[in-house]
Structure 1
Amino acid sequence: MIDSRPMDTFQPGDVLNNTYRIEAVLGRGGTSEVYKARSEISGRLAALKVLKAEFSANDDYLVLLTREEEIREIRHDAVVRYSENHRTQDGLVYLVMDYVDGPGLDRKLREGPMAADDLLTVCRRVSEGLEAAHNRNIVHRDLSPDNIILRGGDPAEAVIIDFGIAKDTNPGAETIVGNEFAGKYAYAAPEQLSGQTDARSDIYSLGAMLLANFRGQSPNVGNNPMEVVKKKGERLDTEGVPEPLKTLIDQMAAPDPDARFQSAAEVLAYLRENEGETDPDATVIFPPPRAPDPIPKSALKPEPVAPTTPPSEPPSVPERKSRGGLAAVLLALVLIAGGIGGYLGGVFDGLLGPKYPVAAPYQLTVDKPANGAPHAIGHVPSEQTLAAMNNLMTDLAGSADLTLATGAIADTWGADVMATLSELRNLDEWRLALDGNAAQISGETANAELHTHLTNAFADGLPGALEGSAKIDLIPVFLSSATVGAVLDRLADCGPLLTPGETSVGYGPQSSIIVAGKVADTATRIGLFDELSEIAGDRKVVVDVEVLNPTLCLIESNLPNAPPGGIGVDFIVGDRNEPNPSGRFFVGENPIIDIALPADVVDGYLTVSILDVSGNVYHLLPNLNRQENAVTALRDGQSGPIKVRVAYSVEEAALNNRIGFTVDDSSLGKSKVIVLHSEEPLFDGLRPTSESASGYATALKDHVASNQASILSLDSRILTTAVP
């Protein structure tokens, strides 16, 4: 997951259509953003793909997102399950899909090389998913490590995600984001550079991914377009890749599509054949090996043929020469052959060292998540270190994907690493990441004694030749209310923030930290979520605050402390005379505002004002052109619930000297309609029709100081203005 940004469409804590609560940002793209969300109804996690606001009203993109939704017809566990499209009250369109929890192959790539056996498992699983998609004429077109998730970290549970640029290969079908090239250069098939794509392109991409994850580094495709085109025409370098993975990659990622496996079914048949499985009903034709380069014609000229007729005179017999030279040559050949045999047989390992491949960079990562099993992946220098690491992972109920390799490391590297891990193993959560001799260590524990021990153990540096530092945090079992309160007090910018659900002892290990109240801007909400997440540990953080703006917060801090009175605020789109329950108006629209009085509000006085996003206050009732605000006068003899219009259509406002306005793009955002019901008129005399927020705040503060008891209720509603 990635950090939230103020410009994101949604923020942690937002609830979409009263159903999906946003928890985190998963990714951002050119036309959409992907969020992790939880259903408030079922508690199920989901991934929501949201079209950015500027595309949500574009019919072309809506058609394309609908086509992506149709990919839900692919029914296979290796393909992410799509659900359906929804539209928010604000007009934003989002697509619901399964949330797949686990590391992506891009994360595994950053951690270092993966074991060949695991990659063969990934290949089988992904090929099964591709076969299901290709059978429905759907080509992914953008397979890369970040589009493959290992559910729970298990290679056998690989899942293909993000069919956002998938192409339906049926005649006349469209690409989801247009017809331009969309694949990533590093993993795209050569033909994709010229806009040609079919199922074999996905096979190439999968092969390139397997090689990248085996080596632990992304393919080098050059630094400019010319280099990209040149390198894409060359075969991938699979030297040093063990069989059968080497041949598999060679035949999946041949530059010529006709020389590749022609379908995912052929890839699966190859895997079955090399795992001793057979499918008696399958007839599979593998692509032939690439033909050798043609022999030049000049090399086909006939050699001169010696005459078969014996010479008229017998050849002279040369003088006998010493055989010493020949014997020496033969002896040298025997010695060379014996040396090669001895090397291959391991006779000279004690002198020359193990015959392991060189790894650069030389990396190892061992980590244990909270409430999870540890996992080790990367390089080790010897059989002894390999055995020790495997034994440690077994003891801790973990797993290991390790590769024997040589590299630029100290002679004591293996022993130093094991000594470090023996110190870390008792932590609740820890991670050791090595690049050569450079190490980074982090961990958490609730055990104060263990924290002190490790702090002292690493105070003078890491064991042996390892270089780096260790950061071990002490996480108390209970998170104190004071710690949370300090964050809230420091970031509160629109009145006090509340913490419903807080207990007298603070927050336990399974407690949720919930924050309610109001803030002045989105950046404050993001800051609350990020800072609380840093101290929350595994606790869930819910920032359920209302985002206002500095103007509204200035008024909020000076409003009287009065209960809601059930007085409603209704919005209508003036030019269409249509109800607007969302309260969201776009540039060019004419908001009409009605105050809905309940049947029991029959006396007293109403004061209605709108606090504009630009920092001004407009008094809708009373004002110089409409001074009567007594409830009895507004009812004019009517009983029961009634509506009092305070902002009119532009046409009616012009005719009757009332207030009416049209949204322009000079000040967009949130405004607030405030309705105060009081026993007596709120102010001595009329306020101007418009005034500054600071002037109105001062007037409110002065009135509340001496007339708080006369205020019966306070009701309000947000009006939002935006660009369509």
Structure 2
Amino acid sequence: MIESRPGDAFQPGELLNNTYRIEALLGRGGTSDVYKARSEISGRLMALKVLKSEFTGNDDYLVLLTREEEIRDIRHEAVVRYSECSRTPTGQVYLMMDYVEGPGLDQRLKEGPMSADDLMTVCRRVAGGLQAAHKRNIVHRDLSPDNIILRNGDPAQAVIIDFGIAKDTNPGAETIVGNEFAGKYAYAAPEQLNGQTDARSDIYALGALLLANFRGAPPNIGKNPMEVVQRKSLPLDTEGVPEPLKTLIDRMTEPNPDNRLASAADVLAFLDNPRAAGADDDFDDDRTVISLAPRKPETEVPAPQSSVPPKPQPQPAAAPVAQEPQRKSRTPLLAGVAVVLLAAAGAGGYFSGAFDTVLGPALPVAEPYTLLIAKPEGGAPSALGNVPSEAMQKQLGDLITGQSGEADLTLASGEIADSWADDVMQTVDQIDELPEWRLSIRGNRAQVTGSTPDEDQQKRIMAAIGSDLPGALEGGAKIDFVPVFLAAAQVDRTLSEFADCGPLAQPKAPATGYGPGVPVTITGKVAETATRVRLFDALRAQAGDRDVVIDVDVLNPTLCLIESHLPNAPASDIDISFIVGDRNEANPSGRFFVGENPVIDVDLPADVTDGFLSVSILDVSGNVFHLLPNLNRQDNAVADLRDGRTGPVKVRVAFDLKESAQNGGLAFRVDDSTLGKSKVIVLHSSKPLFDGMRPTSESASGYAEALQKFAQSNDASILSLDSKILVTAKP
């Protein structure tokens, strides 16, 4: 299990919704964390996917989580069962699902190859789950080994989890969501790179992960976007995979989705009768197909295979010909033979190039018609894809190679505008001055992305092509202004706008500013979750590709008022512990629900033997309750509280209801009138804090003024200040 941190949404031992006891943190993600919890009513284990606080105010992430919740309507043993999507009173959004005990296929992948029989079993099980999801028009889009769990390690009990795609802005993240792509590169179908996803994309991903687990190694997809695009257009290498698994994977991972097994039902049909589907050692899917393909031009550069299977070359005259289906036409046989001879003569002239002077060289058809041109920062540009003419092939090739780059351009025809070549080159001319850019084209649709440290340059290019690319190209540009160094002073100006609970700090700010890739870390306190979200958004816009870490405590306006008046005293080893009084059960999270009885102990270390202890609780309503001293318990001298005991000592300051009835001490029961965060403050001083006794309850502002007045003349007498948050919420 993963070690918990103080800033986590939930802590082990915490009770959620008055039903689910948090047992452990299972994993951390870019946007959410997953916890293991147990129902105290049924004993059933559950998994909780909790959206991180900085994303709870972002509708995009809430939509993604809600979309994942839609899976709860699917009832299939191979699909994890979701039960609810809820928000806690403190704003935490969580999704609850069944907990599946067992290794993931990613773990099995690390352990080495799996047998073909086990993988066929996994395939049948997962295909059944996908079939149930696809019937409801739900596509997983991110199927990979880490999203399939083998319950109890049994391939026959494989379970699909994590139907939600989450956006991850961290540099190098494998999973991307946007207009272009959703899924993991290693297992994503080729069409997903262009933003096209349907049920066939899940079929491809399932086939790819089956192959990976058979090999015991993930697919090699290349080291940069150009290699990814090129390799995704090629069939996966299934050499050495035994039948019928080999043919199954080949059929599931056809680069062209139109040639792929079209549905989970087709996969199951293959598994039911592989031989009928052609899975035998002698099977050749193209053995009865004879086709005449046009000759490639002499100047054509060899290209990677596209998602369209290559057309077979003309067969020798002696090759067997498939039987022609009966035609409806009643044309005499002799006329038919004449037509065939005429067609053959035409084909011969075509393939010999005799008609090229009249018709021009024939170009193969590319579908889809794609071109990717990119220039990484500090690196050489590259171009890969289709172009419609030798003139453009030379012009673009010279531009790329002139900058020490590589161009792999294939002459092809396709569904593009007549001005396509000129429009593309005009676009390249406008963005080539950028230090980093990328132009992705599919047909007439194009998208430009890039960045520059020159703000004037960014504004000029965005004004020219931001919303309208040249000519017939459809699309726009997104050019980011990213300074080489982000000055700490610039971040400070942003922090000052959001500092609603004391100053916010940059503990790791470099003296020269944040360089490329250096994370921006913020600490401090804010008054509400909304402030934290807005702060994150503002810094995200400033930081460019740098990580933004918001490590702040979210309090409330009352606590923030007190924070601004608290004396500047160091923390100590004095601790505060919470207990659920009704059950005499430790509650390390400090979260209590309506109807529960919070019990509070102050834990004195062995070396705290003198002075005075002042304990107060500041609640969300703006009131302060003095737990020690108060009118009913005026003696707060440490020596008297120890009562002759040595070593570590617990001093109870808020009692169980039964204890309170016997000794008159303060006790609380949570009601729904003051829910939220309260703060328990322990001040250790060398003399009493105030000249007289404070009332048991008073306003936060009155207490803050009294504290400030005392600290002005008695600052040295305050030895330490320790605190802990107590949260009250509805179940």
TM range, normalised to the smaller chain?
0.5 to 0.7
One of 478, 483, 501 as aligned partner of 1:476: 483
Partner of 1:67: 102
User: Which residue number in structure 2 is paired with residue 653 of structure 1?
Assistant: 660
The 10-residue stretch of structure 1 (605-614 or 339-348) with the greater mean CA deviation from structure 2: 339-348
Q: Deviations over 1:463-492 (max 9, x none)?
A: 555566555444332211121112211122
The answer to whether structure 1 residue 524 and structure 2 residue 531 are counterparts is yes
What SS class does the counterpart of residue 689 from structure 2 fall into? coil
* 1:380–1:676 Cα change, 3 Å: same
Q: Which residue of 554, 563, 578 maps to 1:547? A: 554
Alignment-derived partner of residue 257 in structure 1: 269
Partner residue of 1:487 out of 488, 494, 497:
494
% identical aligned pairs: 43
| Cross-structure match for 1:407 | 415
User: Residue 145 of structure 2 aligns to which amino acid in structure 1?
Assistant: V
Cα 1:427/1:610, change in 2 over 3 Å: same
Work out the CA distance in 1 between the residues paired with 2:9 and 2:409. 39
1:687 counterpart (678, 686, 694): 694
Q: Which residue of 2 aligns with 1:235?
A: none
Q: Does the 8 Å contact 1:612/1:672 carry over to 2?
A: yes
- Return the alpha-carbon distance in structure 2 between the equivalents of residues 686 and 68 of structure 1: 61
Q: Structure 2 length as normaliser, TM-score?
A: 0.59
Are the structure 2 counterparts of residues 610 and 378 from structure 1 closer, same or farther at C-alpha, using a change threshold of 3 Å? farther
Partners of 1:498 and 1:269 in 2: CA distance: 67
Residue 613 of structure 1 deviates from its aligned partner by 3.6
Q: CA deviation at 1:563?
A: 1.8
Q: 568, 580, 588: which is aligned to 1:573?
A: 580
Moved more, 444-453 or 549-558: 444-453
Contact 1:431 1:442 in 2 (8 A): yes
Query: 1:588, CA displacement in angstroms?
Result: 4.5
- Distance in 2, Cα, partners of 1:402 & 1:578: 71
Structure 2 CA distance for partners of 1:262 and 1:447, relative to 1, 3 Å: same
What is the distance in 1 between the residues matched to 2:270 and 2:474?
50
SS in 2 for 1:535: helix
Residue 105 of structure 1 aligns with an amino acid whose one-letter code is A
Structure 2 unaligned residues grouped into runs of 5+: 1-7, 12-22, 36-45, 53-67, 69-79, 87-95, 115-143, 151-160, 163-171, 176-183, 233-242, 288-322
Once the two structures are TM-superposed, the CA of residue 536 in structure 1 deviates from its matched residue by: 2.1
- Report the RMSD for the aligned CA atoms in angstroms: 5.9
Amino acid at match of 2:107: R
Deviation digits for residues 497-540 of structure 1, max 9, x if unmatched? Answer: 11112233222235332211112233333333333233223333
Residue in 2 that maps onto 1:496: 503
Secondary structure of the 1:478 match is coil
Contact 1:493 1:520 in 2 (8 A): yes
Q: 1:149 to 1:17 in 2, by over 3 A?
A: farther
8 Å CA contact 1:584–1:721 kept in 2: the answer is yes
In the TM superposition, 1:335-350 aligns within 5 A as: 347=355
Do the aligned residues in 2 keep the contact of 1:9 with 1:52 (CA within 8 Å)?
no
Q: Does 1:607 align with 2:619?
A: no
Q: CA deviation at 1:593?
A: 1.2
Offset at residue 496 of structure 1 (A) = 0.4
Q: Which runs of 5+ in 1 are unaligned?
A: 1-7, 37-48, 86-93, 134-146, 160-198, 216-237, 239-245, 276-291, 300-324
Counterpart contact for 1:22–1:35, Cα < 8 Å: no
AA paired with 1:72? Q
Query: Secondary structure of 1:659's match?
Result: coil
The answer for the alignment partner of 1:128 in structure 2 is: 211
2:188 to 77, 87, 105: 105
Per the normalisation by structure 1, the TM-score is: 0.59
Pairs within 5 Å for 1:422-433: 422-425=429-432, 427-433=434-440
Question: Per the alignment, in what secondary structure is the counterpart of residue 671 of structure 1?
Answer: strand
Contact 2:600 2:655 in 1 (8 A): yes
Give the superposition deviation at 1:652. 0.5
Query: How far, CA to CA, are the matches of 1:549 and 1:326 in structure 2?
Result: 91
Q: Retained in 2: the 8 A contact 1:487–1:531?
A: yes
Q: 1:715 and 2:727 equivalent?
A: no
**Where does 1:361-400 land on structure 2 (aligned, <5 Å)?**
364-368=371-375, 380-382=387-389, 384-385=391-392
Contact 1:148/1:158, CA 8 A, preserved across alignment: no
Q: 1 CA distance for matches of 2:370 and 2:286?
A: 30
CA distance in 1, matches of 2:106, 2:475: 48
Could you report, residue by residue, the CA deviation over 1:162-218 in whole angstroms, capped at 9, with x for unpaired residues?
xxxxxxxxxxxxxxxxxxxxxxxxxxxxxxxxxxxxx9999989957746xx36xxx
Secondary structure of 2:102's match?
helix
Question: Residue type matched to 2:552 in 1?
Answer: V
Tell me, in whole angstroms, the C-alpha distance in 1 between the residues paired with 2:497 and 2:280.
58
How many angstroms apart in 2 are the aligned matches of 1:334 and 1:353?
Answer: 23
Structure 1 residues 108 and 460: CA distance shift in structure 2, 3 A: closer
Secondary structure of the structure 2 residue equivalent to 1:688:
coil
Q: In 1, Cα distance between the equivalents of 2:576 and 2:665?
A: 18
Deviation of residue 608 (structure 1)? 0.9
Amino acid at match of 2:101: T
Secondary structure in structure 1 of the residue aligned to 2:579: strand
Q: In the TM superposition, what whole-angstrom CA distance separates every residue of 1:45-73 from its partner, at most 9, and x where no partner exists?
A: xxxx99999799xxxx8874213558734
Distance 2:29 2:604 in 1: 35
- CA deviations over 1:379-417 (Å, ceiling 9, x no partner): 643455456666766766568697934225242x21331
Q: SS where residue 582 of structure 2 aligns?
A: coil
**C-alpha contact (below 8 Å) 2:577/2:600 kept by paired residues:** yes
User: CA 1:398–1:634 in structure 2 vs 1: closer, same or farther (change >3 Å)?
Assistant: farther
**CA contact 2:208–2:253 (8 Å) conserved in 1:** no
Counterpart residue identity of residue 194, structure 2: E
SS in 2 for 1:66: coil
SS at match of 2:707: helix
**Rg larger for:** 1
Structure 2 Cα separation of the partners of residues 151 and 35 of structure 1: 32
Contact 2:113–2:215 at 8 Å: present in 1 too?
no
Rounded to whole Å, the distance in 1 between the matches of 2:83 and 2:624 is 29
Residues 632/119 of structure 1: CA separation in 2 closer, same or farther (3 Å cut): closer
Aligned pair in 2 of structure 1 residues 441, 54: CA closer, same or farther (>3 Å)?
A: closer
> Which letter does structure 2 place at the counterpart of 1:494?
C
CA contact (8 A) 1:529 1:541 kept: yes
Instruction: Label 1:496 to 1:448 Cα distance change in 2 as closer, same or farther (>3 A).
Output: closer
Q: Which is worse superposed, 587-596 or 702-711? A: 702-711
How far is 1:21 from its partner?
6.9
Using a 3 Å threshold, how does the CA distance of structure 1 residues 73 and 564 change in structure 2: closer, same or farther?
Answer: same
SS in 2 for 1:65: coil
Confirm or deny: 8 A CA contact 1:105 1:150 kept in the other structure: no
451 and 477 in structure 1: CA distance in 2 versus 1, 3 angstrom threshold: same
**1:531 alignment partner, SS class:** helix
In the alignment, the residues of structure 1 paired with residue 639 and residue 678 of structure 2 have an alpha-carbon distance, to the nearest angstrom, of 29
Alignment partner of 2:604 out of 590, 597, 618: 597
- 1:370 and 1:386 map into 2 onto residues whose CA distance is 24
Aligned to 1:633: 640
- Mapped pair 1:80 → 2:80: no
SS at 2:660 equivalent: helix
Structure-2 change in CA distance of 1:379 and 1:600 (3 Å) = same
Once the 2 structures are TM-superposed, how far is the Cα of residue 567 of structure 1 from its aligned partner? 2.2
SS, match of residue 487 in structure 1: helix
Residues 678/627 of structure 1: CA separation in 2 closer, same or farther (3 Å cut) = same
SS in 2 for 1:444: strand
In 2, the alpha carbon distance for the partners of 1:684 and 1:596 equals: 26
